[in-house]
Amino acid sequence: MDENAIRAAIFIQKWYRRHQARREMQRRCNWQIFQNLEYASEQDQAELYKFFNDLIKHMPQAAGRKNQYQGSAHVSVLEEKDDLVEEFGDIVNAKIELPIRKNHIDLLIDVFRKKRGNRLHPKYVALILREAAKSLKQLPNISPVSTAVSQQVTVCGDLHGKLDDLLVVLHKNGLPSSSNPYVFNGDFVDRGKRGLEVLLLLLSLYLAFPNAVFLNRGNHEDSVMNARYGFIREVESKYPRNHKRILAFIDEVYRWLPLGSVLNSRVLIVHGGFSDSTSLDLIKSIDRGKYVSILRPPLTDGEPLDKTEWQQIFDIMWSDPQATMGCVPNTLRGAGVWFGPDVTDNFLQRHRLSYVIRSHECKPNGHEFMHDNKIITIFSASNYYAIGSNKGAYIRLNNQLMPHFVQYISAASQTKRLSFKQRMGIVESSALKELAVRMRDHRDELEDEFRKYDPKDSGYISISQWCKVMENVTKLGLPWRLLRDKLAPGTDSQKVNYNRTLDLLDTDVILEAEADGMSVMDALYANKASLVAIFNIIDADNSGEITLDEFETAIDLLVAHMPGAYSKAEMLEKCRMMDLNGDGKVDLNEFLEAFRLSDLHRKEQQDENIRRRSTGRPSVAKTATDPVTLLADKISKNTLVVEHDIDPTDCESRVIDPKKS
C-alpha cells in the first residue's frame, strides 16, 4: 500500500472517530436533559411529602385524629352501589363478566389496541377495578413467588401507560399461566396516553390468572402523582361523566397493591430499592391499606402517625442505587435515598437474599447491572422519552434464578423508516421541548438575570454569563455550553443573543406544551384530597375551622416547600379576605376557594406578563428563515405524535446474554 493510501485511511479513520464521538456526545447530552428534567419534576412533587412531614412534626396532635374521617369514607367505597351514567361517544359493544377468563383477555386486547372505539362501558371498568381491589386486599404486603411448578418467571419494569410495550411483551412471551408467571413491578400509569388500558389489562390478567400474575406498587400508583403526570386527566377525558367514581375505585386498587415480591425466598423484587434502615419484617407487618397516597399522611383511624413506617414505604418506592459507598438522601428526586454497594451487601445478608430486581429508572438498553450484579434494574417502556430514545426489556429467570434479558422496541416500523440523523433529531427535539417548557417556569427570572449583564440593552452577553444565568436560575445541572447553539440559535461564537432564548420560550409550540402540562401547585389544587388533608392537619383543635393563628403557623412551611407560587403575605391576605363574617376563622370551603382564586390570579398574571413582554421589547419581524422560527418549526414537526392501531408484531427484539451485557 502506498503512502497516500495510508494517509487517506488514517484521515478517514480520524474523521470517523470524531464523527462517532460527536454523536455519542449528542446522545449523552439529550439523555442528561431527559433524566435531569424527570428528576427535577419529581423533586418538586416530593416537596409535598416533605411539607406534610413538617406539618405533622409541628402539629403531631392533629395528624392521626384528622384522618379518622377520611378512613371511614374509603372503607365503604367498594361496597357502595354504582351510580354510573352513560358516556357519550365511541363506547365499544364488548361485554365483560365475572369470572374473568382468557376469552375476556383476548377481547380486551383486541379492543384496547385500536386507536378509536377502544373505550369499555364504564360499568365494566368499574367491575374490573372493584373486583381487583377486593382480591388484592387479601394479599400480603410482600407476595411470595415460586418457580417450583413453572420452572421460570418473567419480571417486567415500568410501563408508564405504554400499552404497545405491554402487548409486545405478551405477544413475545405469551399470556400468563401456571407455567408462565409474571411479576409487574409498578409504575403502570402516567406519562403515556394509554395508562387506563394498561391498568385495566393488568388487573384483568391478575383476575384471570391470580396465581400467575403478581402486581407490585410503584411510586406512580398514587393519585397525587397522577394529578401531576397526566393519568387523572387521561381518565377525565375518557370518562368525563364517570371519572370521579372510576378514580375512587383506582385509589382502592392502589392502596391494596402489594409493596413487593420475593422469588424463591432469594430474590427481592421492589419498585425502587431500599435504605440502610429498611426492614422487610417491618414492611410485612404494615397496614398498607392506610396509604391511599404515599405522598399524603396515611389513614390512621385516630391512632398516632408512625413516621418510621411511612418512611419505610417511601424508601422502597423512591430509592436508587449509586456507585459510591453509603446511604444518602436522594437529592435529585427529592425523595428516597441513594444506596451504595455496602448498603446492598448488608441488606442482602440481613435478609438472606441473593440479589434485588428493581425498576424506577429508565435505562438506554432497558436494563442495567450494579453492585457486582446484585442490583438489577429493569425498565419495560421503550421509546419512553421519544421515538428511538431507549429500548425496553423484561427478565426471564429460570429455576436457578439465572436472569436472561429480552430487549425490544415497539412500533419498530416507525423507526426503521428513519435515518440515524432523523432519529437523533426527533430525540433532540423532544429533549429541547421538555427543557423549554421547564424553563418557562423561570421565564421572568431568566430575563431579569440576563439584563443584569447587559446594562446597555444590546441583547448580547458573553457565553460564560449566559451559562451562569441558565444554571443559577434553573438549577438543572446541564451542559449549557453544548446547548447554547440550540437554545440561542443563530448567535456567533463569542456572544449569545439571549433574546433568542426568550423568544424560543414564547413560541406557540412551547406555549402549547406548557398548557398541556401541570405544575406542582396545579396538581395540588386538582387533587383536592391533598388540600383537605392539609386543612385537617392545620385545624389542630378539630373545630372544622382554621384560625388565623393556626394558619400562620403552617403557612411558613408551605412557603418554604413551595417557593414562588404563593407568598406568606398573599396567603394570609387571602385567608383574611375569605373570612367573610370577620370572626377570624376559615372553614374548608373557604380554604379551597382561596387556593382556586390564587391559582386563577397566578395564571392571569402569567398572561399579563406575556402581553407586557410583547409590547415592552422592540419587536423583531419573524420570517421563515429566522433561527428561532426554524427551530420551533423543527421541534413542532419532530414531536408531532400520530396515533395508530397497536400491532404487537411490529417490534424488534433480541435475547441478551447476561454475561455480555
Q: Say if CB 390 and CB 362 are below 8 A apart.
A: yes
Question: How far is the C-alpha of 517 from the C-alpha of 511, rounded, in Å?
Answer: 10
Which grid coordinates belong to 405?
434479558
160 among known catalytic residues? no
Grid coordinates 370577620 are at which residue?
Answer: 582
Tell me what pLDDT residue 257 has. Answer: 98
The bridge status of strand 142-145 relative to strand 585-587 is: unpaired
Tell me what pLDDT residue 106 has. Answer: 95
pLDDT in tens, 591-606: 666 666 655 665 666 5
Tell me what pLDDT residue 69 has. Answer: 37
Number of H helices, E strands in the chain: 25, 19
Position 68 pLDDT exceeds 50: no
Q: Say if CB 15 and CB 412 are below 8 A apart.
A: no
Residue 441 belongs to some domain of the structure: no
pLDDT in tens, 256-295: 999 999 999 999 999 999 999 999 999 999 999 989 888 8
Residue 261 belongs to some domain of the structure: yes
Tell me what pLDDT residue 70 has. Answer: 45
Which one is catalytic: 220, 271, 371, 561? 220
Q: Taking all residues of the chain, what is their mean pLDDT, rounded to a whole number?
A: 84
Position 526 pLDDT exceeds 70: no
The bridge status of strand 213-215 relative to strand 182-184 is: parallel
Look up the pTM and report it. Answer: 0.85
pLDDT in tens, 538-578: 766 667 777 777 777 776 666 665 555 556 676 667 667 66
Q: Which residues pair with 229 in a beta bridge?
A: none
The bridge status of strand 320-321 relative to strand 337-339 is: parallel
More confident residue, 371 or 65: 371
pLDDT in tens, 236-248: 999 999 999 999 9
More confident residue, 417 or 239: 239
Residue 586 belongs to some domain of the structure: no
Domain of residue 386 covers 120-411+644-656
CATH classification of the domain holding 327: 3.60.21.10
Q: Which of 373, 311, 386 is nearest to 345 (CA)?
A: 373
Which grid coordinates belong to 165?
410495550
SS3 of residue 585 by DSSP: strand
Q: Say if CB 517 and CB 462 are below 8 A apart.
A: no
Question: How far is the C-alpha of 453 from the C-alpha of 499, rounded, in Å?
Answer: 13
Number of domains in the chain: 1
Question: How far is the C-alpha of 641 from the C-alpha of 625, rounded, in Å?
Answer: 25
Helix locations, 461-587, DSSP H: 463-474, 480-487, 498-505, 508-516, 520-526, 528-538, 548-561, 568-578
Position 84 pLDDT exceeds 70: yes
E strands of 345-500, at which residues?
Answer: 355-358, 367-370, 375-378, 392-398, 403-410, 460-462, 495-497
Position 661 pLDDT exceeds 60: no
Question: How far is the C-alpha of 125 from the C-alpha of 96, rounded, in Å?
Answer: 9
Which grid coordinates belong to 92?
365499544
SS3 of residue 282 by DSSP: helix
Phi/psi for 66 (5° steps) reads -70, -25
* Amino acid identity for residue 531 in this structure: L
Per-residue CA distances from 459 to 491, 497, 506, 617 (Å): 11, 6, 16, 10
What angle is formed at CA 545 by the lines to CA 541 and CA 546, rounded to 5 degrees? 80
Q: Which of 173, 256, 190, 277 is nearest to 227 (CA)?
A: 190
Residue 635 belongs to some domain of the structure: no
Tell me what pLDDT residue 199 has. Answer: 98
Residue 395 belongs to some domain of the structure: yes
Position 67 pLDDT exceeds 80: no
Q: Cβ–Cβ contacts within 10 Å for residue 452, how many?
A: 10
Grid coordinates 385545624 are at which residue?
Answer: 539
Per-residue CA distances from 23 to 389, 415, 470 (Å): 14, 18, 24
Q: H-helix or E-strand containing 132?
A: helix 122-136
Question: How far is the C-alpha of 358 from the C-alpha of 158, rounded, in Å?
Answer: 10
Residue 628 belongs to some domain of the structure: no
Q: Which of 362, 333, 337 is nearest to 347 (CA)?
A: 337
Residue 468 belongs to some domain of the structure: no
pLDDT in tens, 339-369: 999 999 999 999 999 999 999 999 999 999 9
Q: Say if CB 153 and CB 144 are below 8 A apart.
A: no
Question: How far is the C-alpha of 77 from the C-alpha of 82, rounded, in Å?
Answer: 9
Tell me what pLDDT residue 585 has. Answer: 75
Helix locations, 286-419, DSSP H: 307-318, 341-351, 412-416
Q: Say if CB 427 and CB 466 are below 8 A apart.
A: no
Residue 544 belongs to some domain of the structure: no
Could you tell me the pLDDT band of residue 253, with boundaries at 50, 70 and 90?
Answer: very high
Peptide bond into 99 cis (omega under 30): yes
Overall average pLDDT of the 391-408 stretch:
95
Per-residue CA distances from 198 to 163, 186, 245, 564 (Å): 6, 11, 19, 36
